[in-house]
Structure 1
């Protein structure tokens, strides 16, 4: 099994980049993080799966926090979250990709586009560099969309229509 990549690559090119802790706190409590780093300076959910657990193949329950491995695997994780139906994912805003169209535009409830770029953290808890691309939060339930709206984040929330012929709810 290859080492998973979490978050954004910077000039230092580390394997794991952690979600800013303030962002996790602002979004509320999560039941499971299926892509948690083995060593983490703060909790992202009540339960964690690491690369050693293979979170993609394990059962998920409750509200999910998902900062998936970036790259070709990203959308496999998002497919599972979409099927699960409750949770928020943090990914790059690669809106032009087939994966984004298939697992975000076609399945998500909402997408939040951050103003500016996020700063991720090292597993040591020290702040790393700025992401090399814009990031988005992807919500797969109305309750998670409301959590994003209440988080006080700077950016723009887009509610996605169920299909092209229906207005957003």
Structure 2
């Protein structure tokens, strides 16, 4: 879930972009073990077979007291992916979490990831790489365990989880969170496609139906 700078795409859509499988595979290869929970996803974009989704997604589908929803569709019931909670910011996370947060909520999700790491849960985030901004210096540098800098930009999926966005005009980075807090965050460069280069051809069950 990401955003284009100065894009004309609806804000709601920008906040729901999905991670590509190549990007997710690289993140998992760098993390070193399988992710157990995707804390910010929808059925069409989930990368782990257990995931949290938003209350807004549920209201859009099922409706609320003020309006009728658009209804559920077959893609909402992926037999290989299970919704295990709503509103990740109010739920406890688990060890080995994966998080590609909505752009507009990224600072809240970073604070949540830091709190979860202090509570003993490790995981990885995919974030817009903006190391000169105040929010990055305040929330990431000196708090995260490591920052993995790719050699270029990753693409993203549209909200359908299939169509690749074109011309993504911002860099991304993987941010590692662990209980080990050293007050220093090393920056580690790597080449995209590291999963395949390491011999990890991640073919996930979820990818077969994504």
| TM-score higher than 0.5 | yes
The alpha carbon displacement at 1:33 in A equals: 1.4
What root-mean-square deviation, in Å, do the aligned CA atoms of Structure 1 and Structure 2 show?
Answer: 2.7
Q: CA 1:61/1:139 → structure 2, altered by over 3 Å: closer, same or farther? A: same
The alpha carbon displacement at 1:133 in A equals: 1.1
Report SS of the residue matched to 2:124.
strand
Runs of 4+ in 1 over 6 A off after TM superposition: 148-151
TM-score by length of 1: 0.72
Q: CA 1:114/1:99 → structure 2, altered by over 3 Å: closer, same or farther? A: same
**Distance between the aligned counterparts of 1:8 and 1:120, measured in 2?**
9
Q: CA 1:94/1:27 → structure 2, altered by over 3 Å: closer, same or farther? A: closer
Residue by residue over 1:90-148, the C-alpha shift from the partner in whole angstroms, topping out at 9 and shown as x without a partner, is 111111222211221021111112222211011321111232211111111399x9xx9
| 1:31–1:62 Cα contact (<8 Å) kept | yes
Contiguous gaps of at least 5 residues in structure 2: 29-33, 56-85, 181-185, 196-210
More helix by share: 2
**Distance between the aligned counterparts of 2:163 and 2:113, measured in 1?**
29
Q: CA 1:142/1:20 → structure 2, altered by over 3 Å: closer, same or farther? A: farther
Match of 2:124 in 1: 88
| 2:97–2:124 Cα contact (<8 Å) kept | yes
Matches within 5 A, 1:74-113: 74-85=106-117, 86-113=122-149
Matches within 5 A, 1:117-136: 117-124=153-160, 125-136=162-173
Q: CA 1:27/1:116 → structure 2, altered by over 3 Å: closer, same or farther? A: closer
TM-score by length of 2: 0.59
Contiguous gaps of at least 5 residues in structure 1: 1-5, 154-169
Equivalent residues, number: 142
